[in-house]
Amino acid sequence: MICLILSLFSYFFQTGWTGENERTFVAVKPDGVQRRLVGEILRRFEKRGFKLVGLKLVKASEDLLREHYWDLRSKPFFRGLMSYMSSGPIVVMVWEGLDVVKTARKMLGETNPADSLPGTIRGDFCVEVGRNVIHGSDSVASAQKEISLWFGQDELHCWEDNSRGWIYD
């Protein structure tokens, strides 16, 4: 019930998911799936203490990818990005928790793996910007947009987190 209220609230007011209820959109790109990195990436987010509220394997349509990367449409690498992202299935997920948008970006590393510190996902598992294995929303507003683009309301799950008291004071 609380989840439904929060969903409706976040639909009408863009600030709905805040605090411990903040959500972000993360996608393991085709290279990450091919290279069997899905489990490792899930493990990192779970161990950090974030809560998984949505997860699926999808073959993204060109329309969906174009909408997702609309802001980059005039970049010289846009066509390559479209073909890379549609080259195989991707695993999309929604994670919930305090400051999850900012923290997920830190866990991912920089856009260019060469600038990413060891210990980050891109710093540990890839070398080139055009094959950087993972996407994560860059702001709360983008997260809200991306989550509603990739997930239906019925695909996001509210569940009682029994370890909550060991993660938050």
For ligand ADP, which is the closer residue by CB, 22 or 146? 146
The answer to the question of whether 23 is labelled as a binding residue is no
Residue reference for tokens 């203490």? 49
The answer to the question of whether 29 is labelled as a binding residue is yes
Q: For residue 120, give the DSSP letter.
A: B
Longest Cα–Cα distance in the chain: 48
Active-site residue, from 54, 135, 137, 144: 135
The answer to the question of whether 122 is labelled as a binding residue is yes
Burial 1-36 (b: 16+ CB within 10 A, else e): eeeeebeeebeeeeebbeeebbbbbbbbbbbbbeee
Per the annotation, the verdict on 157 as an active-site residue is no
For ligand ADP, which is the closer residue by CB, 21 or 120? 120
> Whole-number minimum distance, CB 33 to ligand ADP, in Å?
14
For ligand ADP, which is the closer residue by CB, 129 or 167? 129
> Whole-number minimum distance, CB 129 to ligand ADP, in Å?
4
> Whole-number minimum distance, CB 137 to ligand ADP, in Å?
8
Task: List residues binding ligand ADP (CB under 6 A).
Answer: 72, 77, 81, 111, 129-130, 132, 135, 138
Task: Specify burial of residue 52 (Cβ count, 10 A radius: 0-12, 13-18, 19+).
Answer: middle
Contact 104, 137 (CB under 8 A): yes
Catalytic residues: 135
Show binding-site residues for ATP: 29, 77, 105, 111, 122, 132
